[in-house]
Structure 1
Amino acid sequence: MALLNLGILAHVDAGKTSLTERLLFDAGELGVLGSVDAGSTRTDSLEMERRRGITIRAAVASFRLPGVTVNLIDTPGHPDFIAEVERALSVLDGAILVVSAVEGIQAHTHVLLRTLRRLGLPTLFFINKTDRRGARPGEVRAQLTELWDRPVLCGSAITGDGIDGLTHAITTLLPYAPEQSDAPLNARVFKIERAGVGPSVRSRAAVGRSDGARIAYARIHAGTLHVRDRLAQGRVTGLRVLDRVVRSATAGHIAVIRGLRTVRVGDQLGDTTGDAPAYFPPPTLESVVVAEDRGAVYAALTQLAEQDPLIGLRRDPLSVTLYGEVQQEVIAGTLAEEYGLHVRFSKPRIISVERVTGVGEHTVVIGAGPFLATVGLRVEPGSGFGIEVEPGSMPAAFFTAVEQSVRDGLAEGPHGWQVLDARVTLIRNGYLARQSHSHGTFDKSMSSTAGDFRQLTRLVLAAALARAGTRVCEPVHHLELELPADTLPAVLPVLAGLGGTVLDTHVPGRRATLSAELPAARVQELRRRLPGLTHGEGIVEATFDRYSSR
């Protein structure tokens, strides 16, 4: 039977989870139709998803239509989780974009439209909630066809109206997964879960004991994956396809894989020739985590970062990087509900970086401090780590310790931010070998260790960075605004007052589009003010563009 990997996307509250539930119910996969309001839907399995009525993690469910088996992927609708949506899109054959007949096209709908167009993903449009008071399907249909000329379907996920037409379109208008089972294995991991992690996990030790219990979801693009296959991420110990335990999974399938101990979201499995890693704009917010058991919280956050690699961590102070405050609330709730760890977050701050502005050197020799090591470093604009001493002048472990300590040290520059675009070179080194006494024994206290080099390197690097000098650079976002043309005179001066720069303006009719740049720190203020400036009709899409000096 043919396969189709189908995603459902929408602005939050447009009804995509209800539509997922309806499709599963009508196909006979569910005995009872679940409800988002009641927290009884199949794909919102997390307690927080049920309580808040939003999708946080992409979920997979399968059902059968005439001639085709559909793997249905329900994706988050909130902008804070756009990276989760992008990961899901990378494994799809087609998509359904859900738009509410009441609210119409919303800000995040435009983001999804642009993403679908960029990826060239075959898409059906479904106008939902036609049964609700205030529904205006004809007007919304006209808006959609103006933006993207496609066949547009209407109905209600709650009542089932229009679902037969949608399922017919799924089987006749969307392309099925290509069959490439004879090719080398090529698969992409888009979701990771952990088995057996719940509220009983109360300590750092307990968190560590669950370290091997990863369950990876991967779309197989080509080839065949077998139980007992050895991959770079580990050995496959179990496979599921379409809720069935299997010995192998072929191209087109979504495979649920056990046994990959080092796997992370975004990993390619098998032949990765020609595959470019997925790019996601970096988070621009950071919040300090306040907790009693910092070790247990750090261990739990490390596991959450495996499920979402865009959660960045720092140990000192313990902090996480974020896309928005809703994501922060979700992380706190997940720590409480799945790990039994209660934390508080500081108010998020904008993440800046540092760039080296000059050249600085510093050297500390054996005898000038408590460390039995000599380290000299030069810092300058550029990238990478270099060596200007003889490669055999000290044990390889000491060179490794210096290089690793340099990489760790660049995570925090003189102003407290990560240092980018820095070239660090080892220009002097020395160590103390074990000294033999007359009676033939060794005095281990008089020999250099890798620890000496790690600790001294951090100090020398900090001094060299201070001498070279760094400048703080803040994130700048690229903006795409859509607004009524007659509100441009009100919006432009406000944008300029916030430090923005207009790049392009296009006024084809009653609505205008505007491209601009704006410091990330001012984006939320623009979002707050835009509705009042545009009669509630202004839409802004902001994406990270670059770092710029203050």
Structure 2
Amino acid sequence: MEHLNIGILAHVDAGKTSLTERLLHHTGAIGALGRVDAGDTHTDTMELERRRGITIRSAVVALRVGDLRVNLIDTPGHPDFIAEVERALRVLDAVVLVVSAVEGVQAQTRVLMRALIRLRIPVVIFANKIDRTGARYDGLLTDLTESLGVACVPMSEVEDLGTASAKVLPRPVSPSARLAETLAEHSDDFLAAYLEGAPTAEDYRAEVVRQTRLGVVFPVFFGSAHSGAGIAELTGGIREFLAGTAKPAPDDRLRATVFKIERGRAHEKIAYVRVFSGQFGSRDVVRFHRRGPGGTITTEAKVSAVRVFEIGDDTVEARARAGRIAKVTGLKEIRIGDQVGVLDAEGVAPQFPSPALETVVVPVRPEQTPVVFAALQELAEQDPLISVRQDDETRQISVRLYGEVQKEIIAETLAGQHGLDVGFAATRTICVERPIGTGSSLWDITEPRNPHFATLGLRVEPGPPGSGLTFGLAVELGSLPLAFHKAIEETVEAALRHGLSGWEVVDCTVTVTHTGYFSPVSAAADFRKVAPLAVREALEEAGTEVLEPISRAELELPSDAVNVTLSRLIELGGIITGSVLRGNRAELTGTLPTRQIVHFERQLPGLSRGEGLLTTEPGGHRPLVKPNRPPRGNPGPVVSEGRRTQAGHGKGT
């Protein structure tokens, strides 16, 4: 039986979870239809999700469409939880992208579609809420084509659009010059057949199916998750257009990826694993791999239990084979993103930027700081990008965020699951530092300034944008005991969290150029103490620049409000890159410092008579124009005191 893993993606409130519920009910996977507002859906299982009516964590359910076994992954729509979508994209064969027939293409819709196009993931679009007042058909298709820049092929007709009695009828794929032009753009064979005048309606439909599976054409189905209209047509479309999109593996060796971690009733760690090839089961010993700045870490462990998704949210104990999603226990050191079995040479590149906001978590009862930190570390297992950190001196706990809603979720989770009450400092944007030149440092064991039994030379230089930290060796690996090399790597990574201006240093290549030690006196601790000194000195010679996060912005407003709004945008550091006039409305595109978005949003109603609409998404970094205060409690590497005794030494180069 063929397996297919589909993601349900959308902007918040477009109806993803309701659609998932309706698909489960339509295919017989569940007997009773749950509702988001009643808090009894099968994918929103967290108490917070049921109470708030939003999806926070990705959830997996299974159904069958004829002889096709489908795993559905319901993902969050709120941009604060984009990390959950990031992890889901790593394991999907295809996607159903949900848009509202009323609101149309929204900010998150654009962000998601860009990522899907980059990854060439096949997509079927479901236009939801056709039974709502204001629902559109032709206007929505135009919106999809122009705003998303994709080739859409409508597969449905709608009667009584925008009313409670809205009905869906199948729309045949009929030969037309417009459709022929769309298909010929991506297929020389179809173009040749068209020029010969031979393609039939069946040929057109077969070509739409083929190009959908290639991720270049996007069928659009209309319907209502609320009433069930159009669900049968969408289910058939999943079977026809998306089956067969799973990429074949080169061999039968085990290849799998961890995309979700949760804790069970006994507090055991449960890993959600997508299997691409091979198989594994209970009591098997498996290897899993994790990439870090110092290279790949490989761990071997024995699996306690494997349960695969069967129907609905039910799982059964069985071997996890290619195409299946399994819940795995027993791998205590497993993390999100780990590769199980064979290590892929490249892996999956991130599709969305890391969080650009940070806040300090303040326990209401200060004596609970250690417990709060431990609880946040557990939450970070489920969402690694919140990046929980505690300052060694001030003991302040900081977490990274995509938005303010995450604060509320963290506070409610700590209170509900751990009985801990916390507050938060004001959210600030996270700047980064990058080296602007090359710098070197050598701390020799014989020099009076070096109080440690360790010789260490480092070279710091800029790395490619987006590369993070690259760690390399210009000495033989055997020049030091392996524990000493590991100590250097770990300490260099920690030291670069606080650059010359107090921000984390990114896009940096660090190379070990000299090593030496005195046996048997030297220890790994000596290298842990000297490494921050070498990093600091090399950075000072290289120099760094501070970069702040920026956001891509799209602004729609009355055309007569453009001048005053544009002036305010420029005052806040915005840069306009494009403008379009549509009647009495104007659309502006550009960038704006992330730290200024909240200020501009507060002023926009007054500037645009309440008619302005701003959408933003992360847009990378740029050099900071104004000095930005470095993080509090981050003093940077400190020269450690120590005692030094004259002695001979062995040196590796």
Q: Distance in 2 between matches of 1:398 and 1:142?
A: 61
> Which secondary structure does the structure 2 equivalent of 1:499 belong to?
coil
Residue 427 (structure 2) pairs with residue 353 (structure 1): no
- 172 and 395 in structure 1: CA distance in 2 versus 1, 3 angstrom threshold: closer
1:228-274 superposed Cα distances (whole Å, 9 cap, x missing partner): 14222533332222234343222222222222333222222223334
1:59-90 superposed Cα distances (whole Å, 9 cap, x missing partner): 11112233322211111010111221132233
Among candidates 343, 351, 372, match of residue 297 of structure 1: 372
Among candidates 342, 346, 352, match of residue 421 of structure 2: 342
Among candidates 187, 193, 204, match of residue 256 of structure 2: 187
Q: Distance in 2 between matches of 1:305 and 1:504?
A: 39
2:575 maps to what in 1?
A: 501
Q: Any residues of structure 2 matched to 1:67-466 within 5 Å, and which?
A: 67-136=67-136, 139-144=139-144, 146-147=146-147, 148=150, 149-151=152-154, 152-178=220-246, 180=248, 183-196=252-265, 210=267, 213-227=268-282, 228-232=284-288, 233=299, 234-241=301-308, 242=310, 243-279=314-350, 280-291=352-363, 292=366, 293-316=368-391, 317-356=396-435, 359=439, 361=441, 363=443, 373=453, 380-382=460-462, 397-398=483-484, 400-420=486-506, 421=508, 423=510, 431=518, 447-458=521-532, 461-462=535-536, 465=539
1:502-530 superposed Cα distances (whole Å, 9 cap, x missing partner): 34456698876655333222233344555
2:36 maps to what in 1?
A: 36
Q: Distance in 2 between matches of 1:25 and 1:387?
A: 57
1:8-64 superposed Cα distances (whole Å, 9 cap, x missing partner): 222212222122122222333323222211211111001111111100011111122
Q: Any gaps of 5 or more consecutive residues in structure 2?
A: 155-219, 289-298, 464-469, 626-653
**Residue identity matched to 2:573:** G
> Which secondary structure does the structure 1 equivalent of 2:6 belong to?
strand
> Which secondary structure does the structure 1 equivalent of 2:384 belong to?
coil
**Residue identity matched to 1:289:** V
Does the 8 Å CA contact 2:306/2:318 hold for their aligned counterparts?
A: yes
Q: Distance in 2 between matches of 1:391 and 1:249?
A: 38
Does the 8 Å CA contact 2:459/2:513 hold for their aligned counterparts?
A: no
1:101-139 superposed Cα distances (whole Å, 9 cap, x missing partner): 443332222223333333333333333233345545564
**Identical pairs, percent:** 46
- 172 and 315 in structure 1: CA distance in 2 versus 1, 3 angstrom threshold: same
Deviation larger for 526-535 or 491-500:
526-535
> Which secondary structure does the structure 2 equivalent of 1:63 belong to?
strand
Does the 8 Å CA contact 2:579/2:589 hold for their aligned counterparts?
A: yes
> Which secondary structure does the structure 1 equivalent of 2:385 belong to?
coil
> Which secondary structure does the structure 2 equivalent of 1:310 belong to?
helix
Q: Distance in 2 between matches of 1:392 and 1:4?
A: 47
Q: Distance in 2 between matches of 1:179 and 1:387?
A: 37
Does the 8 Å CA contact 1:215/1:258 hold for their aligned counterparts?
A: yes
Does the 8 Å CA contact 1:63/1:71 hold for their aligned counterparts?
A: yes
Q: Distance in 2 between matches of 1:403 and 1:126?
A: 48
> Which secondary structure does the structure 2 equivalent of 1:413 belong to?
coil
Displacement of 1:466: 5.4
1:137-192 superposed Cα distances (whole Å, 9 cap, x missing partner): 56445533554423233333223233222223222232345485863332222212
Does the 8 Å CA contact 2:107/2:617 hold for their aligned counterparts?
A: no
- 486 and 104 in structure 1: CA distance in 2 versus 1, 3 angstrom threshold: farther
Does the 8 Å CA contact 2:462/2:509 hold for their aligned counterparts?
A: yes
> Which secondary structure does the structure 2 equivalent of 1:544 belong to?
strand
Q: CA-atom RMSD, angstroms?
A: 3.6
Deviation larger for 479-488 or 271-280:
479-488
Does the 8 Å CA contact 1:266/1:278 hold for their aligned counterparts?
A: no
**Residue identity matched to 2:496:** L
Does the 8 Å CA contact 1:127/1:154 hold for their aligned counterparts?
A: yes
Displacement of 1:194: 1.6
> Which secondary structure does the structure 1 equivalent of 2:592 belong to?
strand
Q: How many residues are paired up?
A: 523
1:201 maps to what in 2?
A: none
2:628 maps to what in 1?
A: none
- 457 and 270 in structure 1: CA distance in 2 versus 1, 3 angstrom threshold: closer
Q: Any gaps of 5 or more consecutive residues in structure 1?
A: 198-209, 435-446
- 418 and 548 in structure 1: CA distance in 2 versus 1, 3 angstrom threshold: same
Among candidates 599, 608, 617, match of residue 542 of structure 1: 617
Displacement of 1:371: 5.4
Normalising by structure 2, what TM-score? Answer: 0.70
Does the 8 Å CA contact 1:377/1:464 hold for their aligned counterparts?
A: no
Deviation larger for 422-431 or 318-327:
422-431
Q: Distance in 1 between matches of 2:246 and 2:96?
A: 19
**Residue identity matched to 1:186:** R
**Residue identity matched to 1:10:** A
> Which secondary structure does the structure 2 equivalent of 1:83 belong to?
helix
Q: Distance in 2 between matches of 1:467 and 1:80?
A: 38
Q: Distance in 2 between matches of 1:174 and 1:127?
A: 17
Does the 8 Å CA contact 1:285/1:323 hold for their aligned counterparts?
A: yes
- 366 and 50 in structure 1: CA distance in 2 versus 1, 3 angstrom threshold: farther
> Which secondary structure does the structure 2 equivalent of 1:88 belong to?
helix
Q: Distance in 2 between matches of 1:500 and 1:483?
A: 16
**Residue identity matched to 1:86:** E
Q: Any residues of structure 2 matched to 1:461-500 within 5 Å, and which?
A: 461-462=535-536, 465=539, 469-479=543-553, 488-500=562-574
**Residue identity matched to 1:548:** P
Q: Distance in 2 between matches of 1:251 and 1:123?
A: 22
Q: Distance in 2 between matches of 1:463 and 1:274?
A: 34
**Residue identity matched to 2:15:** G
Q: Distance in 2 between matches of 1:46 and 1:83?
A: 17
**Residue identity matched to 2:354:** P
**Residue identity matched to 2:361:** V
- 465 and 140 in structure 1: CA distance in 2 versus 1, 3 angstrom threshold: closer
Q: Distance in 2 between matches of 1:389 and 1:89?
A: 39
- 146 and 405 in structure 1: CA distance in 2 versus 1, 3 angstrom threshold: closer
Does the 8 Å CA contact 2:111/2:617 hold for their aligned counterparts?
A: no
2:651 maps to what in 1?
A: none
Q: Distance in 1 between matches of 2:260 and 2:416?
A: 20
- 165 and 318 in structure 1: CA distance in 2 versus 1, 3 angstrom threshold: same
Does the 8 Å CA contact 2:461/2:542 hold for their aligned counterparts?
A: no
1:202 maps to what in 2?
A: none
Q: Distance in 2 between matches of 1:354 and 1:146?
A: 38
Does the 8 Å CA contact 1:401/1:453 hold for their aligned counterparts?
A: yes
- 425 and 172 in structure 1: CA distance in 2 versus 1, 3 angstrom threshold: closer
Does the 8 Å CA contact 1:2/1:67 hold for their aligned counterparts?
A: yes
Among candidates 516, 524, 528, match of residue 598 of structure 2: 524
